[in-house]
Amino acid sequence: MQNLKTSIRYLKGIGPAKSKIFSKLGIKTIEDFLTFYPRTYQDRSLLTPIHRLQVGEVQTFVGQVVDYKGKRFQRKGINTTRLILSDGLRNIALLFFNQPHLKEYLPVGQRLVVTGRIRRFGHELQVTNFDYEILSQKEPVDTQRIVPLYPLKEGLSPGTQRLLRRTMHSALDEYLSSIEDPLPFQLISQHRLLDLRNALRTIHFPESFLEMYAARSRLIFNEFFFLMLALGQVKRSRGKMRGIAFRSEGRLISRFIASLPFRLTNAQERVIKVIKTDMALSRPMNRLLHGEVGSGKTVVAICAALLAKEYGYQIALMAPTEILAEQHLLNLKRFLDPLSVRIDLLTSGVKGETRDEILARVARNEIDILIGTHALIQEGVKFGHLGLVIIDEQHRFGVLQRATLFEKAQQGGVYPDLLVMSATPIPRTLALTLYGDLDISFLDELPSGRGKIKTFCRSEKDLPRIYDFMKERIKEDYQAYIVCPLIEANEELGLKAAKEMFEILQSGVFQDLRLGLLHGRMNTAEKTKIMEAFRRREIDILVSTTVIEVGVDIPLATLMLIEHAERFGLSQLHQLRGRIGRGSARSYCILLTTLAISNLVNSEEDVEPLDDELSKAVKRLKTMVGTNDGFKIAEVDLELRGPGEFFGVKQHGMPELKLGHLIRDRRLLELAHQAASLILDEDSTFSNYPLLQKVVKDYLEMRQESSPRD
């Protein structure tokens, strides 16, 4: 059996020059190459007689070399040769550059198949950019069929397509027979999948588009299946890892809960109980806490932290941004100072001696909860007795990062518990599959007595009324956010920017109010100062960019005005709006947009605007006005955005998938998930499936090698 892991250099006809091209494309092994899938295809199966060719179209035609025409004119060192091809009724010229020996290679009388865009030059038909092949009995590769177009990188000539195609064709001939299908036969027949060899050949050289889709499905299934097997196995093997059995009674939790000014929701109580049970087990907890914005995840996380603290362990709490880390510090101190829990913050803003001192105290177990960004563990902060890692807003981290964190957090073979929290409203089934290596708890209930959020879509002309309304509410002691898409004014885009708005408003309509400015280019100290002032109610209106998007929690802020709302994606709007409606008072979210869009959003009928972008913007804003339900919003987002962009799937940090797309192909994902679970339940070490065992092992090794991404 040929080894597919051998270097691409051993492929026939690959010298150092070609090798370089391959490495540019990230292809190292034969396997990499065979799974270097086409970006798209071009149908060159239809032949058009030369005398029927249409100028401007890409077409495929057959003809005989009848002549080499005209002078070879030389221009800037480029040598042009015009080969004349004829079908007996009409001629067409093929322009070759710098190919002096062409005449010997393609002598008069030779028959060629050519695909290219037809141009006219004077009376003459011409092609300059084309693919051609000598007409023969052999299977065609470059033309006369549906041909693959591969994803090229900058700096590679279009001719690379031919090189790839031809090399692929012969590589398939040479190596396909040595590929064994790792899927159990039963699975293949049950789901009517193509066998692997067939699928690989077809994805590169399909006879029809129908076949190509069948091949894609099989290969996507493959990717998902192994992803699910690997995640499932990680989950199961973690079950065997040594963790800490937290035998805490829950004294601290009781005191904490008693001190809260509100009652826990049923969902919170339920999840806390589950976490307590889970933490008491001797294997490490691996739990995702999935809850809508404002569902009160922090309280649950604090309970988990208190369980660890009571048992003498430390907690690392990590947030995706420094602002959020600082928020957590303020919040937790407020809740936990009375319980004498020692909390500190370590972000990049903490430097010098202070930093050294914190590190020393952490190592001596004199800090119970250390809050920071993900740098906490990546930079190898040494804990004296780390027992629990909490990651907030985990979708910002990614699966790989999470896995690495976990590895780094272990001490002497004992793993801390892990609690990750996310508010990304993805469809539930997808969450179950996507986080296949975690147990999931859904916090699916918002605290009662939560003021409703009313959302309106308005335009510039309503601004005076909106400003009046804001003034009124602020007089009643509430606060407001004004969100702008940019930090600084940009003439070209004609968008309102935070800085500019801040100045205009502070010296204009809101001159009697206290405004604050917050954006991502401010340094940490400035940001903290502003946020604290806002929290202490020393700022009435916070003008900001989307830096406030994640996690910020200020109950008195009940108003939000979003400028240029049509420019924001649904998930972002939803996150932003999640900043208000956090207290008991009613909140108002005003989406400001153009008059035309707001009219469409507010009209009863379903008006279909012509422009696609416009209609999407209308749909987004209509959805925001119509619902607060994150899952519903996620569904619409999915429908509108289509593959590739949905809630920044890339941010979920999935290992590279070559063909499959988690959202677009979610049916296949579910199928693969089921199939993988069945096998894992039956035989979690794959002792009956040696081939599966090997592939999964390779897969996991690959995963561990890859570094975390940002």
Chain contacts with ligand ADP (rule: CB under 6 A): 262-265, 268, 291, 293-299, 423, 447, 553, 555, 582
Q: In whole angstroms, how close is the CB of 590 to ligand ADP at the nearest point?
A: 21
**x-marked contacts with Mg ion along 535-554 as a string, rule CB under 5 A:** ----------------x---
Nearer to ligand ADP, 277 or 584 (CB): 584
Least separation in angstroms between residue 589's CB and Mg ion is: 18
* Among ligand ADP, Mg ion, none, partner that 296 touches (CB below 5 to 8 angstroms by kind): ligand ADP
Q: Are 451 and 581 in contact (CB under 8 A)?
A: yes
Cβ-based nearer residue to Mg ion, 372 or 551: 551
Encode 143-169: b = buried (16+ Cβ within 10 Å), e = exposed. bbbbbbebebeeeeeeebbbbbbebbb
Q: What residue 572 binds from ligand ADP, Mg ion, none (CB within 5 to 8 A, per partner kind)?
A: none
Residue whose CB is less far from ligand ADP, 527 or 577:
577
For residue 632, the minimal CB distance to ligand ADP (Å) is 18
| 484 binds, options Mg ion, ligand ADP, none, Cβ within 5 to 8 A by partner type | none
Whether residue 466 contacts residue 476, with contact meaning beta carbons closer than 8 Å, is answered with no
Residue 451 or residue 708: which is nearer to ligand ADP going by CB? 451
How far is residue 291's CA from residue 324's CA, in Å, rounded to a whole number?
A: 17
Determine how β-strand 479-483 pairs with β-strand 541-544: parallel
528 binds, among ligand ADP, Mg ion, none (CB under 5 to 8 A by kind): none
- Nearest distance in Å: CB 392, ligand ADP: 7
Which residue lies nearer to ligand ADP by CB, 91 or 295?
295
Q: In sequence order, which residues have a C-beta less than 8 Å from that of residue 229 and are 6 or more positions away?
A: 676, 679, 680, 692, 696, 699
Query: Which position's Cβ is nearest Mg ion?
Result: 551
73 binds, among ligand ADP, Mg ion, none (CB under 5 to 8 A by kind): none
Closest CB to Mg ion among residues 182, 551: 551
Distance, in Å, from the CA atom of 142 to the CA atom of 140, rounded to the nearest integer, reads: 6
Place of tokens 């035998």: 247
The amino acid occupying position 616 is K
CB of 313 to Mg ion, least distance (A): 23
Q: Which option in Mg ion, ligand ADP, none does residue 447 bind, with CB closer than 5 to 8 A by kind? A: ligand ADP
CB of 481 to ligand ADP, least distance (A): 15
Considering beta carbons, is residue 193 or 293 the nearer one to ligand ADP?
A: 293
Q: Closer to ligand ADP at the Cβ: 182 or 294?
A: 294
Nearer to Mg ion, 485 or 551 (CB): 551
Any residues with CB less than 8 A from the CB of 86 and at least 6 apart, and which? 50, 63, 64, 66, 92
CB of 582 to ligand ADP, least distance (A): 5
Dihedral angle of Cα 37, 42, 46, 50, to the nearest 10 degrees: -130
Backbone angles phi, psi at 475, to 5 degrees: -60, -35
Q: How far is the CB of 425 from ligand ADP (least distance, A)?
A: 12
User: What is the closest distance, in whole angstroms, from the C-beta atom of residue 264 to ligand ADP in the complex?
Assistant: 5
- The span from the CA of 252 to the CA of 267, in Å, is 20
List, in sequence order, every beta strand (DSSP E) within 396-452: 417-422, 439-443
d(CA 190, CA 188): 6
When CB distances are held under 5 to 8 angstroms depending on the partner's kind, the choice from Mg ion, ligand ADP, none that residue 103 binds is none
Q: For Mg ion, give the closer residue by CB, 228 or 325.
A: 325
Query: Which residue lies nearer to ligand ADP by CB, 217 or 268?
Result: 268
Pairing, β 78-86 against β 91-97? antiparallel
Shortest distance in whole angstroms from residue 295 CB to Mg ion = 9
The site for Mg ion, by CB under 5 A, has a size of 1
- The residues facing 112 across adjacent strands are 63, 134
Q: Give the Å distances, CA to CA, from 278 to 232, 234, 418, 522, 702.
A: 18, 17, 11, 41, 30
Indicate the Cα dihedral angle 189, 190, 193, 194, nearest 10°: 0
* Binding at 299: pick from ligand ADP, Mg ion, none (beta carbon under 5-8 Å per type): ligand ADP
At residue 172, what is the residue type?
A: L
**Are the beta carbons of 566 and 595 closer than 8 angstroms?**
no
- Output the smallest distance, CB 447 to ligand ADP, in A: 3
Q: What, of ligand ADP, Mg ion, none, does residue 552 touch, CB below 5 to 8 Å by kind?
A: none
Q: Which does 307 bind (CB under 5 to 8 A by kind): ligand ADP, Mg ion, none?
A: none
Amino acid at 262: F
Positions that interact with Mg ion (CB under 5 A): 551
